[in-house]
Chain A
Amino acid sequence: MSDSLLQFRNISKSYYGNSVLANINFDVRKGEIHALIGENGAGKSTLMNILFGMPVITGTGGYEGDVLIDGEKISFKSPHEAMYAGIGMVHQEFMLIPGYSITENIKINREITTPNPVSRIFGKRLETLDMASMNADARKALDKLDMNIEEFTQVAGLPVGHMQFVEIAREIDKTGIKILVFDEPTAVLTESEAQNLLAAVKRLAAKGIGIIFISHRLDEIISVADRVTILRDGELVATKDIKDTNAVEIAALMIGRKVAIDRVQSDRRRISDEIILSLKDLHVGMPGEMVRGIDLDIRKGEIVGIGGLAGQGKLGIANGIMGTYPARGDVVFNGKPMILGDPRAAMASGMGFVSEDRKGVGLLLNESIELNIAFTAMQVGNKFLKQGGPFRFQDDDGIRKHALKMIKDLDIRCESPVQHAGSLSGGNQQKVCVARALTQDPVFLFVSEPTRGIDIGAKKLILDLLLKLNEEEGMTIVMTSSELAELRSICDRIVIVCEGKVEGVLPPDASDAEFGLMMSGSRGGKTEDSPERSADHG
């Protein structure tokens, strides 16, 4: 361990009593590429936030354990201290100013200046920029990365792959850079750009820089990393030498089996052969969750799960069909082609949607529970209305009666139906969202991240509720979730989405490794399209 550049010793972190990292021991050696892999919420970002002294950590009571650089204990109070200590980060979303030249971006807030008469009186900030030296530095950094592009080119017109390199150049231009963190660096790159990047990462490591490589792409990790550390639910599952492991093992370790799947089966369910919803080449422009051509058929009475890692596009599907984000493609519902981009039409045709963004899209937080429940049915379905002159007014009695019924049926814990939705607990808020969707009497329900931010007891209630709706009303349900365990507990089949496309479909009892590989885009129904992504690569 003596050659360790960076060490995490027994790191634990909790937010307001919720443990998000427990007892992590992790180290990076000089010149090593250390991959970090884990599902969303496994603790990767928290670990990096600790390393960088981000306000989100320092402002919430810090962390337990020690971080050591070159054997010395450190504790950064701000990202700048981390920067001065030689730690750099290449962000997934570029931190570049489009209107600036490459040099200006590389040198932002680290500009080289020369004194002038005015600055001698009024201070360093009025020193003149030394563009020539700045350009020379930028050139040097770009050369290290084998980038032939001119350093005075404006960033705005560059291809994405080049922008990534400018980010890297900015980090390595910082004097004394020791550790460089790459956060999903290839997510936005084309295949060849990604290959270039990986080569550059290797070159940097060969220069003695310690590299933390966060990625979900197993094949990349296998091809570039020296060691890999797998995190799961805030715990370190294993650290392995790449040569001693393979993609299948990593995938299995990453998924793990969190809870015993207690699949509730019932003979009352009726899944017909009739296809109720058919998607062909669906594209959805949802920022951060782009869908790039989905083909999928859903049968009447099914519960279909949509899984995949964050940012891969699984959330975009429901949003595109329900019209909350622009979409294109052929969608046939109940035998009729749908016009995309029209939430009203989608709802009128019998679809309901419980959004993943409960507080943003799902609820009017400062309005009453009863209005939240009745709102869509009133606006779209013209329920709960009574005529008064030229206007139609809300039917308070009708709304109240219905809300009370829903509160009873779904067991919404509240003081009264006029309580503000914002004051409910997460689970009960979610039930209000479901209640609103049900008020429209849908035959088909999209539920996205139904248990996000909800405690365990409430999770079970929500899942049971969905199952009950499916059994008793014959409602077709498409559930999108980041939690594989909950998909596996009630779904008939699970569609895994990766990079905006269907990577494959698995039965709920498929093995962890199968899920893991598919979520990392390393194996699946489309192997013939991308042979270089196949599992036997490593």
Chain B
Amino acid sequence: MAEMNGNGNNLARASRNLLGDIGLPTVIIAVFWVLTLVAGHFVGISMSTLVSDTIKRAGMNGILVLAMVPAIQSGTGPNFALPIGIVCGLLGLVTAIEMDLTGMTWLLTSFALALPLAAAVGYGYGKLMNAVKGSEMTIATYTGFSIVALMCLAWLMIPFRNPKMGWFIGKGLRETIQLDAVGGAQILNNFLLFTVGDVIVPTGLLLTFAFFAFLVWLFFRSKLGIAISAGGINPKFAQAAGLNIDRNRVLANVVSTILGAIGIIVYSQSYGYAQLYTAPLMMAFPAVAAILIGGATASRAKVSHVVIGVVLFQGLLTTALPVANEIFVGTDLSEIMRMIIQNGIILYALTQVKRGVQ
């Protein structure tokens, strides 16, 4: 019997491999993107602006999407608790402002402050995920939400005095902090920035993303990375091979949380503002959607999925906004489209998950 099931699996696997290398969702989104680009061309939208914006937005979202890889590979599933890493990054960022740092010093200090914090918090989060195996995604979502809500209190009560980020009256931090004030806006984007024709290439931003993508890729080639992946693919195999799966899952979530923290700092500098309070609440979902669009599943992900996914998803969103506004004046179709695509792809991935407590 076992053998026959195996044959069935082989067949299914073979047919999946045909599609698997490209992936249906990836194809659909790619085709859709091309269509909007074509439509954009016909309504006379500057292609170079679209390409520049796509590059920029892919670069600034890239590391947040990258944070999904370790979590998925370890078997925890997509990190729906990404906001945890994000608030760690924001905390590092505002602390660096409070220290009155500017420019590159500010940026590097933000990283340095956020890193240990994210590692510590990620450790606790990983432990939690081990306790709730089987329902990680639901619990992760609400853990993320809770932390964001809790941080709302913290932002309001934190005894920081720097006028660059306080309210004009009252206590607490502003909802949106301008990074211009610390010379931090686009600091990475502008590093070695050059233009090809009208297309702007934010070299520093792309280099940063590439650097971290390379690190993650390298990590999953190491002994530890291979062990983490094996635990995710087949926990029984990994356990029999003497691996400490629980410890590896915790480690993976630490890495994921750190990437979330770094990701938001990179994101904020490119955006030019640090957004506090409820802004991080829903940030996990576009990141999850992006990696799924890139071809990942809830249990398997690669760095290539991150790159493909973030370019396609952000590209589509960047293109759709002006195109939709041009064609259907007075509507906000692009935001609607984002909601449908983003949540649709997550739902699709959920229907492919074959486990859970019941």
State the A residues within 8 Å of B (CB). Answer: 15-16, 322-324, 342-348, 353, 355, 357-367, 371, 375-376, 378-380, 382, 385, 388, 391-394, 422-423, 426, 452-453
Q: A15-B4, A391-B218 are in contact. Are A376 and B223 (CB under 8 A)?
A: no
Smallest beta-carbon distance B198→chain A, Å: 40
Tell me the complex Cα distance, A392–B227, Å: 12
| Residue of A with least CB distance to B226 | A394
Beyond A359-B6, A366-B13, 4 extra complex contacts between A and B, CB < 8 Å: A342-B242, A366-B233, A391-B223, A422-B9
Mark each residue of chain B from 1 to 20: 1 if its CB lies under 8 Å from any CB of chain A, else 0.
11110110110010000000
Tell me the complex Cα distance, A108–B144, Å: 41
Smallest beta-carbon distance B6→chain A, Å: 6
21 contacts between A and B (CB under 8 A): A15-B1, A323-B242, A343-B239, A343-B242, A344-B242, A355-B240, A361-B236, A363-B237, A364-B234, A365-B9, A375-B230, A376-B241, A378-B226, A379-B223, A379-B227, A380-B241, A388-B222, A391-B224, A393-B218, A393-B221, A393-B222
B9 touches A376 (CB 8 A): no
Tell me the complex Cα distance, A491–B243, Å: 32
Tell me the complex Cα distance, A375–B237, Å: 10
| Most A CB within 10 A of own CB, among B2, B234, B237 | B237
**Which residues 1-42 in B have Cβ within 8 Å of A in the complex?**
1-4, 6-7, 9-10, 13
| Residue of B with least CB distance to A15 | B4
> Does B191 sit within 8 A of A, measured CB to CB?
no
Contacting residue for A453 out of B2, B221, B222, B239, CB 8 A = B2
A343 touches B221 (CB 8 A): no
Q: A364-B230, A379-B227 are in contact. Are A16 and B2 (CB under 8 A)?
A: no
**B233: A residues at CB distance < 8 A:** 364, 366-367
B236 touches A357 (CB 8 A): yes
Smallest beta-carbon distance B298→chain A, Å: 16
Smallest beta-carbon distance B354→chain A, Å: 14
| Residue of B with least CB distance to A374 | B226
Number of interface residues of B (CB under 8 A): 28
Contacting residue for B237 out of A345, A347, A364, A453, CB 8 A = A364
B2 touches A359 (CB 8 A): yes
**B142: A residues at CB distance < 8 A:** none
Tell me the complex Cα distance, A348–B218, Å: 27
Tell me the complex Cα distance, A522–B224, Å: 51
Tell me the complex Cα distance, A394–B304, Å: 20
**A347: B residues at CB distance < 8 A:** 242
A385 touches B236 (CB 8 A): no
> Does B348 sit within 8 A of A, measured CB to CB?
no
Mark each residue of chain B from 219 to 254: 1 if its CB lies under 8 Å from any CB of chain A, else 0.
101111111001001101101111100000000000
**B223: A residues at CB distance < 8 A:** 378-379, 382, 385, 391-394
B221 touches A379 (CB 8 A): no
**B221: A residues at CB distance < 8 A:** 393-394
Q: A16-B4, A393-B222 are in contact. Are A353 and B240 (CB under 8 A)?
A: yes
**B242: A residues at CB distance < 8 A:** 323, 342-348, 376, 379-380
| Residue of A with least CB distance to B14 | A423
Q: A378-B223, A391-B224, A422-B9 are in contact. Are A343 and B240 (CB under 8 A)?
A: yes
**A371: B residues at CB distance < 8 A:** 226
**A323: B residues at CB distance < 8 A:** 239-240, 242
B240 touches A322 (CB 8 A): yes
Tell me the complex Cα distance, A513–B227, Å: 48
Contacting residue for A392 out of B6, B10, B222, B240, CB 8 A = B222
| Residue of A with least CB distance to B5 | A359
Tell me the complex Cα distance, A357–B5, Å: 13
Smallest beta-carbon distance B9→chain A, Å: 7
A391 touches B219 (CB 8 A): yes
| Residue of B with least CB distance to A375 | B241
**A385: B residues at CB distance < 8 A:** 223
Tell me the complex Cα distance, A145–B33, Å: 70
Tell me the complex Cα distance, A422–B16, Å: 14
Contacting residue for A422 out of B10, B222, B243, CB 8 A = B10
Smallest beta-carbon distance B164→chain A, Å: 36
Tell me the complex Cα distance, A378–B242, Å: 11
Smallest beta-carbon distance B119→chain A, Å: 15
**A346: B residues at CB distance < 8 A:** 242
**B1: A residues at CB distance < 8 A:** 15
Tell me the complex Cα distance, A490–B192, Å: 72
A360 touches B236 (CB 8 A): yes
**A453: B residues at CB distance < 8 A:** 2-3, 6
**A382: B residues at CB distance < 8 A:** 223
A324 touches B239 (CB 8 A): yes
**B236: A residues at CB distance < 8 A:** 324, 357, 360-361
Smallest beta-carbon distance A417→chain B, Å: 16
Tell me the complex Cα distance, A356–B9, Å: 19
A-B pairs, 8 with minimum CB distance: A344-B242, A391-B222, A453-B3, A343-B242, A392-B223, A376-B241, A361-B236, A380-B242
**B219: A residues at CB distance < 8 A:** 391
**A365: B residues at CB distance < 8 A:** 9, 234
Smallest beta-carbon distance B264→chain A, Å: 25
**B10: A residues at CB distance < 8 A:** 422-423
**A366: B residues at CB distance < 8 A:** 13, 233
| Residue of B with least CB distance to A420 | B13
**A359: B residues at CB distance < 8 A:** 2, 6
**B9: A residues at CB distance < 8 A:** 365, 422
| Residue of A with least CB distance to B243 | A379
Tell me the complex Cα distance, A353–B240, Å: 9
**A376: B residues at CB distance < 8 A:** 241-242
**A452: B residues at CB distance < 8 A:** 2
Tell me the complex Cα distance, A365–B10, Å: 10
**B237: A residues at CB distance < 8 A:** 360-364
| Most B CB within 10 A of own CB, among A345, A359, A426 | A359
Tell me the complex Cα distance, A394–B266, Å: 32
Tell me the complex Cα distance, A376–B240, Å: 9
Tell me the complex Cα distance, A360–B13, Å: 16
Smallest beta-carbon distance A383→chain B, Å: 11
Smallest beta-carbon distance B137→chain A, Å: 22
Smallest beta-carbon distance B317→chain A, Å: 32
Tell me the complex Cα distance, A382–B226, Å: 13
**A358: B residues at CB distance < 8 A:** 2
